[in-house]
């Protein structure tokens, strides 16, 4: 299937690791011109080496998207190097988990900065230009914590819930200008972040990491966790002209977990 992404300019925030890196590689494979952003220079350099080793060239941009001015500077740099941005994939940001009895004002603000503002600043820096050109697609990766409250992840979950509303609102506001805005709610996906979580739980429970993973996967109707490349393929579709009538959608990719009746 031709997704008509060849030559499109794509910016992937959080593109140095995990789902973001998988998205960058998938767009490169479709012939897109790809820029990746990360606040960590070392991670960004490692991603460039990884993608180069697989035959893909990307334009790296370091930026801390919790800062509004940094997001605007990122967009100027990308468009100066590659041209106007056709597709924005927001995969940056992950709030730290904080036990309820440790929550304070700083933890709540940090959660919103890490996820909500890292995404919204990127959107605000890109979408007006798309609207002026009459065309564009935005896909945000938004954690499932916005749907189901986890006492250990309340700031991050709140940020994710707010992003789902922002996705729907921006889709409504900019649809008349030809800009589509959608979001994906991935379930547990086999990234370094997930592996770190397995390790923490294994130490807490006193059991092997493999057993923690097996127990968790056993609760998923498909009996496995997602791979980053599986999430990336759906991002490609939503960004493509094949999804030209899809906007304001919040798509679950959790192996059926959200539909499980307990």
The side-by-side arrangement of strands in the sheet containing 136-141 is 58-62, 33-38, 9-13, 87-90, 136-141, 179-186, 250-253
Same domain, 165 and 247: yes
Burial of residue 103, with CB atoms counted within 10 A of its CB: 0-12 exposed, 13-18 middle, 19 or more buried: middle
Which pair of tokens denotes residue 229?
């490349």
Count: domains in the chain: 2
On whether both 137 and 203 belong to a single domain, the answer is no
Tokens 């130490």, residue located: 203
Q: How many CA atoms lie within 13 A of 238 on its CB side?
A: 24
49 & 83 share domain: yes
Over residues 5-21, mean pLDDT: 96
Same domain? 181 vs 195: no
Q: Are 94 and 141 contained in the same domain? A: yes
Q: What is the per-residue pLDDT for 218?
A: 83
Examine the domain organization and report whether 72 and 112 are in the same domain: yes
Same-domain pairing of 41 and 151: yes
Q: Read off the pLDDT of residues 46-87 as tens digits, 9 standing for 90 and up.
A: 999 999 999 999 999 999 999 999 999 999 999 999 999 999
Shared domain for 52 and 145, answered yes or no, is yes
- Give 115-131 as a DSSP string: IIIHHHHHHHHHHHHHH
CA angle 119, 121, 127 (to 5 degrees): 95
Provide the token pair at 193. 């972040």
Residue 102 has pLDDT above 70, yes or no: yes
Residue 182 lies in a domain: yes
Q: Mean of the pLDDT values across residues 30-47? A: 96
Element of type H or E holding 141: strand 136-141
pLDDT attached to residue 170: 98
Residues 125 and 147 in one domain: yes
Name the residue range of residue 220's domain: 190-225
Residues of the chain with pLDDT > 70, as a percent, come to 94
pLDDT at residue 202 in the model: 73
Quick one: 234 and 218 in the same domain? Answer: no
Domain shared by 65 and 77, yes or no: yes
pLDDT digits (tens, 9 = 90+) for 169-220: 999 999 999 999 999 999 887 777 777 777 767 777 788 888 888 888 888 8
Assess if residue 162 is contained within a domain: yes
- pLDDT tens track for 104-148: 788 888 888 888 999 999 999 999 999 999 999 999 999 876 677
CATH of the domain at 100: 3.40.50.720
């Amino acid at each position: 299937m031709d997704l008509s992404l060849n030559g499109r300019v794509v910016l992937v925030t959080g593109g140095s690791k995990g789902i973001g890196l998988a998205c960058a590689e998938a767009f490169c494979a479709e012939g897109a011109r790809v820029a990746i952003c990360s606040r960590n220079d070392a991670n960004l350099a490692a991603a460039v080496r990884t993608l180069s080793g697989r035959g893909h060239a990307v334009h790296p941009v370091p930026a801390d998207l919790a800062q509004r001015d940094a997001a605007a500077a990122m967009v100027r740099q990308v468009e100066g190097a590659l041209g106007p941005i056709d597709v924005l994939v927001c995969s940056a940001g992950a709030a730290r988990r904080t036990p309820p009895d440790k929550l304070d004002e700083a933890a709540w603000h940090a959660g919103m900065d890490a996820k909500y503002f890292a995404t919204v600043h990127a959107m605000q820096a890109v979408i007006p230009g798309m609207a002026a050109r009459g065309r564009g697609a935005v896909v945000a990766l938004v954690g499932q914590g916005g749907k189901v409250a986890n006492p250990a992840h309340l700031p991050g979950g709140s940020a994710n819930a707010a992003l789902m509303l922002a996705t729907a609102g921006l889709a409504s506001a900019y649809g008349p200008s030809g800009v589509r805005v959608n979001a994906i709610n991935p379930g547990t996906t086999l990234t370094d972040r997930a592996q770190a979580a397995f390790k923490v739980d294994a130490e807490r429970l006193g059991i092997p990491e493999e057993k923690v993973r097996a127990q968790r996967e056993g609760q998923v109707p498909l009996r496995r966790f997602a791979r980053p490349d599986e999430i990336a393929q759906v991002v490609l579709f939503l960004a493509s002209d094949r999804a030209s009538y899809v906007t304001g959608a919040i798509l679950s990719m959790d192996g059926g977990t959200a539909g499980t009746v307990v």
